[in-house]
């Protein structure tokens, strides 16, 4: 068909009055205009015939019939104006789309070129999670950058991923990574709302952004996000993409991933989420900080309702199920509250690098924590702080409880973990006050003092230092037992000066204090800072027979696949207190609880030893005590170090007693072991009795060494166990190692002044004299004890009577003497013994020793 269009019909041309009819025939070479031909010129209703008013006879006449065109010589058909505009619009629309497509392609190529080569694209590893378990396998907490372990798609109830799909990306299962329909819907929604209403990113795009890109809201980032989303869809299944999303998306409150969110908000695994809980978690995702149930419970409820309705609309659940799972707006959302076990989890996390180095994948940590004890400790500390804190001026508390071998069973680092994550049991260092005094007294016992040694409780000055008793009262002459039991400052100060501060530091370090200490006399009063964990562990040797411990909370670390990465060892420092010294310390520390400042810590049938402590201005109040089964330390005070009206013997001792009553419930009562050398071997150099010189082994040129029974001091036959390399005792009757053979004590250690034995028990003094381990005296020497008045606790003074023959003491074989009991005025026979050793005032103290009429300690202290 030949289309013919006149020049007047072109866009923009002005119609002209017809002149002479144009001939149909044209000369050769003339321009040929397209025309409609005889059958062209179809109009729609309302259109006028081409040609204008001058058409037809006399410029008038009837219009042609509908659907037909009139033609004639000198007359040509004219195209409608609306038809031309539509054609132009379509044309320019096509051109615009073409150029727009080219521009979009250019943008995609430009920003895509900024991405690394696609053959290097890979999903980055998820940050490793640390799953921390109690001793019984119950979950304490998850730690790491995510706060929860990864879970697989198929481990979850069907409604968990369904809730996320219905809320975040309804066409997730059908789109190719980018959802054009969704984008158009969001664009229309924003046009109507005249503002941004919601995002248009698919779940796949969000995964791409979270895995590979920054959160910047720029055109380039959105283009790259779309490219990566399409790549993800081509290389991963829908389940895998959704699994990546659920395990890496942020849910607020520090929880990344569905498992972390379930544990954080509801205290359950994501595997056990209920329908309503799953819907609430899905509702958090658009704005985690604003919609989570901890910060905005009302909004969380609203978002839950929207999620449930969306699930019902998509057919994942029925409307009845959606209604049943909704939380009543008038109800509160019950979320998990982080308890004191979180202090333990933080501590464990801080230890991981030291135990296994950098963590590259998920690990499971088995701890020593007893979950019931942990919650009991948390409750007791919180209740006592609430009950006593306001009237006594303190607001914080901490507790550490461990077995006598150092395994930590409970730790409370503060009253409220959500309010403060600062761990006052491990991180904080405070003055221990008088709880440090046992190390001073132990140094004195190793120098040769006994619990019955007399000391003068009176003010003195030593190089400008003048210690005072907290009560402002002074008792005069007292025993060391009484000095420790009643926490008399002047006695501890005199002892520290006498044995030297460095000796006190050596004892404290050996017992388990790891904080740096300075050798000054005031160390006797606990003025140098330590943490509660090390202080508590330093008391463990008093409870376990004298063996040093290393506090431990981790027993085993495994990979998620079950490979063992670390396993705790039972090895420790070994013996740190000689048995005879331990017996003296046990005597004094038990007295401190029975009748001294720690009386509130009594536990009925259990033997209890311990010590109270109160720092200057009562800024810190402590009690550390032990039984044969457990050691526990308690601290109370304020974070800002302000004064209180506490003392170690009131609220701290009360907390200790309440906790230990629960912790020991059901355990058989056992006495505190004081240790012995029985079954142990000690090495000693062989001495030639004729010359008193060390015998030299002619084969080695070294001093000849023999092993003796540490309990009797008698030489024994030994051999080296080829399996262990240990020296063991041989049964002379059989020539075989003794069953449960005697354990050797390492030689080469310094001799303890009290016994001539090192911590390991070498039974030879500096002069080569054999020492009896049972008495600490040279073998064959008789040891007598000072007679003590059971009423006053003071030595009975020998009196000359000149009457009759003295009876023989059956225990020593020595004659006894008559003395006068100052409490009764009666003469009594007692073993003969030299006067008790008395601590002399320091050289710088120019004060006479006061001699007073003996009275009871209570009379002396309180003026009775």
Domain ranges of the chain: 1-79, 84-114, 146-325, 409-663, 678-773
Q: 66 pLDDT exceeds 50?
A: no
Tell me which of 548 and 331 has the higher pLDDT: 548
Q: Which two tokens stand for residue 716?
A: 């024994």
Closest CA to 786 of 821, 851, 832, 827: 832
Q: Is 674 helix (H, G, I), strand (E, B) or coil?
A: coil
Tell me which of 488 and 850 has the higher pLDDT: 488
Q: 290 pLDDT exceeds 50?
A: yes
How would residue 683 be classed by pLDDT, with cut points 50, 70 and 90?
Answer: low
What is the pLDDT averaged over residues 287-300? 92
What was the pLDDT predicted at 138?
Answer: 93
Instruction: Give how far Cα 836 sits from Cα of 281, 455, 484, 780, 786, Å.
Output: 76, 10, 18, 22, 7
User: Of residues 149, 168, 225, 243, which has the active-site annotation?
Assistant: 168
Residue appearing with tokens 């980032």: 221
How would residue 243 be classed by pLDDT, with cut points 50, 70 and 90?
Answer: very high
Q: 782 pLDDT exceeds 50?
A: no
**CA 610/CA 589 separation, integer angstroms:** 5
Cβ neighbours of residue 298 closer than 8 Å, sequence gap 6 or more: 329
Q: 815 pLDDT exceeds 70?
A: no
Name, of 444-458, 708-722, 759-773, the range with top average pLDDT.
444-458
Q: 540 pLDDT exceeds 60?
A: yes
How would residue 717 be classed by pLDDT, with cut points 50, 70 and 90?
Answer: confident
Pairing, β 827-831 against β 816-820? antiparallel
Q: Which two tokens stand for residue 71?
A: 């033609």
Helix, strand and coil content of the chain, in percent to the nearest 5, comes to 35, 15, 50
**CA 495/CA 483 separation, integer angstroms:** 11
Mean pLDDT check: name the lowest of 238-242, 467-471, 629-633, 818-822: 818-822
Instruction: Give how far Cα 855 sits from Cα of 475, 848, 851, Å.
Output: 10, 20, 12
Q: 730 pLDDT exceeds 70?
A: yes
Q: Does the active-site annotation cover 558?
A: no
**CA 791/CA 591 separation, integer angstroms:** 14
Tell me which of 573 and 851 has the higher pLDDT: 573
- Do you know the residue count of the chain? 864
What was the pLDDT predicted at 488?
Answer: 96
- Are 335 and 265 contacting, i.e. CB atoms less than 8 angstroms apart? yes
Q: Using N-to-C axis directions, what is the helix angle for 238-248 and 159-168, rounded to 10°?
A: 90
**CA 125/CA 1 separation, integer angstroms:** 69
Tell me which of 716 and 416 has the higher pLDDT: 416
3-class secondary structure per residue, 276-305 = HHHHHHHHHCCCHHHHCCCCCHHHHHHHHH
How would residue 75 be classed by pLDDT, with cut points 50, 70 and 90?
Answer: low
For residue 798, count CB atoms less than 10 angstroms from its CB and return exposed for 0-12, middle for 13-18, buried for 19 or more: middle
For residue 413, count CB atoms less than 10 angstroms from its CB and return exposed for 0-12, middle for 13-18, buried for 19 or more: buried
What was the pLDDT predicted at 786?
Answer: 41
Task: Write down the CATH number for the domain with range 409-663.
Answer: 3.40.710.10
Cβ neighbours of residue 696 closer than 8 Å, sequence gap 6 or more: 702, 703, 704
Q: In the CATH hierarchy, which fold is given to the domain comprising 146-325?
A: Penicillin binding protein transpeptidase fold (1.10.3810)
Closest CA to 373 of 335, 405, 402: 402
Element containing residue 536 per DSSP (H, E): helix 532-544
**CA 631/CA 536 separation, integer angstroms:** 7
**CA 513/CA 436 separation, integer angstroms:** 10
Name, of 1-15, 394-408, 688-702, 788-802, the range with top average pLDDT.
394-408
- Are 354 and 557 contacting, i.e. CB atoms less than 8 angstroms apart? no
User: What integer best gives the mean pLDDT of the chain?
Assistant: 78
- DSSP string for residues in 294-344: TT-HHHHHHHHHHHHHHHHHTTSS-HHHHHHHPPPTTSPP------THHHH
- Are 35 and 5 contacting, i.e. CB atoms less than 8 angstroms apart? yes
351-366 tens-digit pLDDT: 999 999 999 899 999 9
Residue 289 C-beta-side C-alpha neighbours within 13 Å = 0
Element containing residue 81 per DSSP (H, E): helix 81-112
Q: Which two tokens stand for residue 517?
A: 């200490």
**CA 236/CA 234 separation, integer angstroms:** 6
Q: 462 pLDDT exceeds 90?
A: yes
E strands, 51-186, where?
A: 129-133, 139-144
Q: What angle do CA 490, 842, 754 make, to 5 degrees?
A: 85
Count of Cβ atoms closer than 10 Å to residue 855 Cβ: 16
Q: 2 pLDDT exceeds 60?
A: no
How would residue 645 be classed by pLDDT, with cut points 50, 70 and 90?
Answer: very high
Q: Which two tokens stand for residue 23?
A: 């001939």
3-class secondary structure per residue, 414-455 = CCCCCCCCCCCCCCCCECCHHHHHHHHHHHHHHHCCCCCCEE
- Are 563 and 759 contacting, i.e. CB atoms less than 8 angstroms apart? no
Q: Does the active-site annotation cover 529?
A: no
Instruction: Give how far Cα 245 sits from Cα of 65, 153, 206, 224, 282, Å.
Output: 69, 10, 8, 18, 12
User: Of residues 342, 434, 537, 647, which has the active-site annotation?
Assistant: 434
What is the pLDDT averaged over residues 106-129? 70
Q: 21 pLDDT exceeds 50?
A: no
Element containing residue 258 per DSSP (H, E): helix 258-266
Tell me which of 704 and 575 has the higher pLDDT: 575
Mean pLDDT check: name the lowest of 22-36, 335-349, 536-550: 22-36
Assessment of whether the complete model's pTM goes beyond 0.85: no
Q: 41 pLDDT exceeds 50?
A: no
Check the CA dihedral 103-104-105-106 and report its sign. positive
Closest CA to 141 of 253, 252, 269, 257: 269
How would residue 334 be classed by pLDDT, with cut points 50, 70 and 90?
Answer: confident
**CA 153/CA 239 separation, integer angstroms:** 7
Q: Would you give the DSSP letter of residue 42? A: -
- Are 656 and 634 contacting, i.e. CB atoms less than 8 angstroms apart? yes
173-192 tens-digit pLDDT: 999 888 888 777 766 766 67
Q: Is 351 helix (H, G, I), strand (E, B) or coil?
A: helix
Q: What angle do CA 671, 672, 673 make, to 5 degrees?
A: 110
Mean pLDDT check: name the lowest of 199-213, 251-265, 281-295: 199-213
Q: Which two tokens stand for residue 361?
A: 């994948």
**CA 451/CA 447 separation, integer angstroms:** 12
Identify how many contiguous H helices and E strands the chain contains and give both numbers: 21, 23
Tell me which of 711 and 66 has the higher pLDDT: 711
């Amino acid at each position: 068909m030949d289309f013919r269009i006149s020049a007047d019909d072109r866009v923009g041309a002005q119609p002209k009055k017809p002149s002479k009819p144009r001939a149909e025939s044209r000369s050769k070479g003339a321009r040929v205009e397209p025309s409609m031909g005889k059958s062209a010129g179809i109009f729609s209703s309302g259109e006028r015939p081409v040609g204008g008013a001058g058409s037809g006879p006399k410029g008038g006449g009837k219009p042609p019939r509908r659907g037909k065109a009139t033609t004639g010589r000198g007359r040509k058909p004219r195209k409608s104006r609306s038809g031309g505009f539509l054609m132009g619009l379509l044309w320019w629309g096509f051109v615009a789309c073409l150029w727009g497509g080219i521009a979009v392609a250019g943008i995609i190529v430009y920003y895509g070129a900024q991405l690394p080569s696609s053959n290097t694209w890979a999903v980055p590893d998820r940050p490793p999670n640390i799953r921390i378990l109690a001793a019984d396998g119950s979950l304490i907490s998850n730690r790491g950058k995510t706060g929860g372990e990864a879970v697989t798609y198929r481990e979850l109830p069907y409604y968990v991923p369904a809730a996320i799909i219905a809320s975040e990306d309804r066409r997730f299962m059908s789109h190719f990574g980018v959802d054009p329909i969704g984008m158009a819907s969001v664009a229309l929604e924003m046009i109507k709302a005249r503002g941004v209403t919601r995002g248009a990113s698919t779940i796949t795009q969000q995964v791409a952004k979270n895995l590979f890109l920054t959160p910047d809201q720029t055109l380039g980032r959105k283009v790259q996000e779309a490219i990566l989303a399409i790549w993800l869809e081509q290389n991963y299944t829908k389940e895998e993409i959704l699994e990546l999303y659920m395990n890496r998306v942020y849910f607020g409150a520090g929880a990344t991933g569905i498992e972390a969110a379930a544990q954080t908000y509801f205290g359950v695994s994501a595997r056990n989420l209920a329908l309503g809980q799953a819907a609430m978690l899905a509702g958090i995702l658009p704005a985690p900080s604003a919609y989570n149930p901890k910060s905005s419970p009302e909004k969380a409820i609203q978002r839950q309702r929207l999620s449930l309705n969306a699930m019902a609309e998509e057919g994942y659940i029925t409307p009845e199920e959606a209604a049943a799972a909704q939380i009543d707006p008038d109800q509160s959302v019950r979320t998990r509250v982080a308890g004191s076990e979180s202090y333990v989890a933080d501590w464990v996390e801080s230890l991981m690098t030291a135990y296994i180095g950098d963590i590259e994948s998920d690990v499971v940590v088995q701890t020593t924590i007893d979950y019931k004890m942990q919650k009991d400790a948390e409750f007791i500390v919180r209740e006592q702080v609430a009950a006593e804190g306001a009237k006594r001026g303190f607001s914080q508390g901490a507790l550490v409880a461990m077995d006598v071998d150092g395994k930590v069973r409970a730790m409370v680092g503060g009253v409220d973990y959500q309010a403060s994550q600062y761990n006052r049991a491990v991180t904080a260092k405070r003055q221990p006050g008088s709880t440090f005094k046992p190390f001073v007294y132990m140094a004195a016992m190793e120098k040769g003092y006994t619990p019955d040694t007399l000391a003068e409780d009176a003010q003195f000055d030593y190089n400008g230092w003048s210690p005072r008793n907290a009560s402002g009262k002074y008792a005069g002459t007292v025993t060391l037992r009484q000095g420790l039991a009643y926490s008399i400052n002047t006695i501890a100060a005199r002892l520290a000066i006498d044995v030297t501060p460095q000796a006190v530091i050596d004892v404290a370090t050996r017992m388990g204090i790891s904080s740096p200490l300075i050798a000054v006399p005031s160390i006797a009063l606990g003025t140098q800072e330590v943490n509660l964990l090390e202080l508590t562990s330093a008391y463990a040797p008093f409870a376990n027979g004298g063996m040093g411990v290393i506090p431990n909370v981790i027993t085993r670390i495994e990979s998620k696949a079950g490979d063992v990465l670390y396993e705790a060892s039972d090895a420790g420092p070994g013996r740190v207190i000689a048995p005879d010294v331990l017996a003296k310390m046990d005597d004094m520390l038990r007295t401190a609880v029975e009748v001294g400042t720690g009386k509130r810590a009594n536990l009925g049938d259990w033997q209890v030893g311990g010590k109270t402590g109160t720092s200057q201005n009562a800024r810190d109040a402590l009690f550390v005590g032990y039984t044969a089964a457990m050691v526990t330390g308690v601290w109370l005070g304020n974070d800002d170090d302000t004064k209180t009206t506490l003392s170690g013997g009131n609220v701290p001792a009360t907390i200790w007693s309440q906790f230990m009553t629960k912790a020991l419930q059901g355990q058989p009562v056992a006495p505190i072991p004081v240790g012995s050398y029985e079954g142990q071997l000690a090495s000693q150099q062989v001495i030639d009795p004729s010359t008193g010189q060390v015998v030299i082994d002619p084969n080695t040129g070294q001093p000849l060494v023999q092993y003796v029974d540490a309990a009797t001091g008698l030489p024994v036959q030994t051999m080296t166990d080829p399996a262990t390399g240990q020296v063991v005792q041989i049964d002379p009757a059989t020539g075989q190692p003794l069953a449960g053979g005697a354990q050797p004590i390492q030689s080469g250690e310094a001799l303890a002044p009290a016994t001539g034995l090192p911590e390991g028990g070498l039974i030879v003094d500096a002069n080569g004299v054999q020492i009896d381990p049972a008495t600490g005296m040279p073998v064959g020497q008789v040891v007598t004890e000072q007679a003590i008045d059971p009423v006053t606790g003071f030595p009975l003074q020998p009196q000359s009577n000149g009457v009759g023959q003295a009876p023989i003491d059956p225990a020593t074989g020595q004659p006894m003497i008559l003395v006068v009991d100052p409490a009764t005025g009666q003469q009594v026979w007692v073993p003969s013994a030299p006067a008790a050793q008395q601590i002399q005032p320091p050289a710088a103290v120019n004060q006479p020793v006061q001699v007073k009429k003996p009275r009871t300690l209570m009379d002396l202290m309180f003026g009775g």
